[in-house]
Structure 1
Amino acid sequence: MAAPAAFSLREVLSAFEACVTEQREVLLGPYLCGWRGLIRFLHSLGAVFSFISKDAEAKVQLMEGLCCGEHRERYVSLQSMVRYELDSGLVELHRRSGRPDSGCRTVLRLHRALRWLQLFLEGLRTGGEHSRTSAICTDSYNASLAAFHPWVIRKAATMAFCALPSRDAFLRTMNVGSAEDAVAVLGEALPHISDVYSITQELFAQHRLLDLP
């Protein structure tokens, strides 16, 4: 069996850069490609992040199935997906249905996790040489995903973060050269990730999808 592809920050940069069209639509193909790269990043950090990476991988697989499925033309962009699923009654706004998860609900879970990664990577970029990654990660988690996790998971996550490696070790996992090179590429990548997050947040808020059960 071939070894899994290594994480490449430049690939994630390219994917999220390709996400947004001139009409400010978010293309799902590049979005999911960018997420595949972020999942490789999480895998490279070990079991500490498995509670997030496993869930993200399942959500990406579900979305890839929709993008290649019977109604694939409806899943070209985030905007076309939202229009189709709302018009077709595929989204349960107030309760979970017995049907497979909708694309809107699935993307919402990825969207929340993307906010955590955005904050965490920004903290790594702007932190000093001796910044504690455990503190950066915990602060990012508490400002994003923690609100959607039960107490047991929050407690386990914050304990696991205490074992994180140094900031330089994290930057080396970016596979773009020195720590300074990684900081520079993060500076290029994060505005694109932030742009995708902001467009998604606005779209979901407009259609009252941010609190899907």
Structure 2
Amino acid sequence: FNWVSEKWAELHGDTPLVKDCPGQSFQARRLLQYLKSSLDDDGDILLETYLLSWDQLLNFMESLGTMVGFFSQKVREKITLIRELSLKHGAKAHGKSAYRSVRSMVEAELKAGVVNFSYRTDSGCRTLLRLHRSLLWLKLMLEGLSEGADGEGRLKTPGELSRDAYRAALAPHHSWMLRQAAEIVFLALPERDYFLKLVCVQTQQEATPILRIIIQALTLVHTQTQRILAEHELLELP
């Protein structure tokens, strides 16, 4: 039993089946498949399926209305850039592309000297770091949505949850102007019922276990990516 199978077994112990949602672009079941497939047995992250997970997360973001386009456009650019780098440097080293996984990309780019620690470059490492921070934002937001009412019986709105998650995950890395613009976006987010429909459920009770499966899967991928970036001291690239 390898590390990934073990973690995945824990995840799927007694969890309800995540259903397909007819007629919408975001599919939680597909997101879970891609997240699972991206976890390599040796603790690496496979880039192709990691980016396919992001395609699903983009569908999720774009389902939330045009205001979120502010974020989704930036994410789309980053996914495209890593895919372009992968195509461009698809030259196989020992039969494997340098952009096969997060670890192989990091090692290849550091060796080639394309990662700069003083100023901004369009390296895969820097681009991945930005996606990695956005993944944390979405994970924290979903964690908020999975929770019930507070002590006073009040459920936080998706706008409040997204704002709190943004302040924790992304705001520390953004300029003042960007932070102000982001705050406006969160005011325009739809109500909680709309989010529940995206995972094909009607009630908060039904949503919580499904959201928890997604959160655990995102956590596995985030933790592993964090570990690889930290090993190579890439968590603060400009």
Residue among 40, 44, 48 paired with 1:29: 48
Question: Secondary structure of the equivalent of 1:66?
Answer: helix
- For 2:81 and 2:90, the matched residues in 1 are separated by 14
Equivalent residue number for residue 31 of structure 2 = 12
- For 2:208 and 2:72, the matched residues in 1 are separated by 23
Equivalent residue number for residue 104 of structure 1 = 125
Equivalent residue number for residue 185 of structure 1 = 210
> Where does 1:31-46 land on structure 2 (aligned, <5 Å)?
31-46=50-65
> Where does 1:141-180 land on structure 2 (aligned, <5 Å)?
141-174=166-199, 176-179=200-203, 180=205
- For 1:156 and 1:59, the matched residues in 2 are separated by 20
1:174-206 CA distances to partner (integer Å, 9 max, x unpaired)?
3x3334444322211211111111111121112
Equivalent residue number for residue 94 of structure 2 = none
1:83 aligns with 2:100: no
Q: Is the 8 A contact 1:7 1:40 kept in 2?
A: yes
Tell me how far 1:5 sits from its aligned partner: 6.6
Equivalent residue number for residue 230 of structure 2 = 205
- For 2:195 and 2:73, the matched residues in 1 are separated by 20
Question: Secondary structure of the equivalent of 2:34?
Answer: helix
Q: Is the 8 A contact 1:7 1:38 kept in 2?
A: yes
AA in 2 matched with 1:56: V
1:70 aligns with 2:89: yes
1:54-107 CA distances to partner (integer Å, 9 max, x unpaired)?
00001101111222333360011100111111111111111235xxx1110110
Instruction: Give the unaligned 5+ runs of structure 2.
Output: 1-22, 92-96
What TM-score does the superposition give when structure 1 sets the normalisation length?
0.90
AA in 1 matched with 2:144: G
Q: Is the 8 A contact 1:122 1:190 kept in 2?
A: yes
Equivalent pairs counted in the alignment come to 206
Percent of pairs with identical residues: 37
Alpha-carbon spacing, 1:181–1:69, altered in 2? closer, same or farther (3 Å): farther
AA in 2 matched with 1:146: A
What TM-score does the superposition give when structure 2 sets the normalisation length?
0.81
- For 1:34 and 1:198, the matched residues in 2 are separated by 15
Instruction: Give the unaligned 5+ runs of structure 1.
Output: none
> Where does 1:120-159 land on structure 2 (aligned, <5 Å)?
120-128=141-149, 130-159=155-184
AA in 2 matched with 1:212: L
Question: Secondary structure of the equivalent of 1:18?
Answer: helix
Larger Rg: 2
Query: RMSD across aligned C-alpha pairs, in angstroms?
Result: 1.8
1:12-56 CA distances to partner (integer Å, 9 max, x unpaired)?
111111111111110001100000000011111112211210000
Tell me how far 1:165 sits from its aligned partner: 1.9
